[in-house]
Amino acid sequence: MNHKKVRSQKSKTPLVHSLEVAIPQFSERLLPEIGVGSGFPLILIRIGISGAVNPRTGLFKLTTFDLVDLYNRKVGRKLNNKTLVGPNTKIRRKTSLPILRLPFQPSVLNISKFVFLKLNPILNRKELTLEFVTATFTDGTGVTKRKDFRK
C-alpha cells in the first residue's frame, strides 16, 4: 500500500465575522410638512459591519463596545437629544430639545445615509466593512447599505 502524507493546508481566505449593534437614540424632527414635535422621533440606530477575524486569537477587530463608542464620538452625541432641522426650515414655536440644523431634511433615509457616510471612512481605515446603517423613527425605518454606493 502506498500511503501519502497529506499536510493540512491553512486556508488563505480569512475567516469573516459580522457584528450588528443597536443603539438607542432620541431626537425629535422638524419637517416642513409636519412641524415640530411631530411624534415621529428617532429612536434607534442599527449598524452592521464585517471584517476578518484575527487567526491567532479568533477575535474580531472591533467589539460591540468599541463600535458604540465610535458611533457616539463621531455621530451619536451630535444627533441625540436634539430637534433635527433641515436647511431653510422655519421654526415657528419653541422646541423641547436643542436645535441641530442639518444640511439636509432629516428624513429616515437621509439620517441613515448621514450616519453611513460619517462612519464608513473610519471603519475602512480599520480594515472593516460597513454593511448597513438603519435609522428607525416611530414612522418608519431608513436603510442605507454598502451596495448603495457601489458603482
Domain ranges of the chain: 16-149
Output the average pLDDT for the chain.
83
147 or 11, higher pLDDT: 147
The secondary element (H helix, E strand) that includes residue 123 is helix 108-125
pLDDT value of residue 33? 64
Kindly state the average pLDDT of the residues 9-24: 74
The model's pTM is 0.82
pLDDT value of residue 9? 45
Fold of 16-149: Tetrahydropterin Synthase; Chain A (3.30.479)
Digit-coded pLDDT (tens) for 26-78: 988 877 666 555 557 889 999 999 998 877 777 888 888 999 999 999 999 99
Kindly state the average pLDDT of the residues 77-97: 86
Provide CB contacts within 8 A for 70, sequence distance 6+.
62, 119, 122, 123
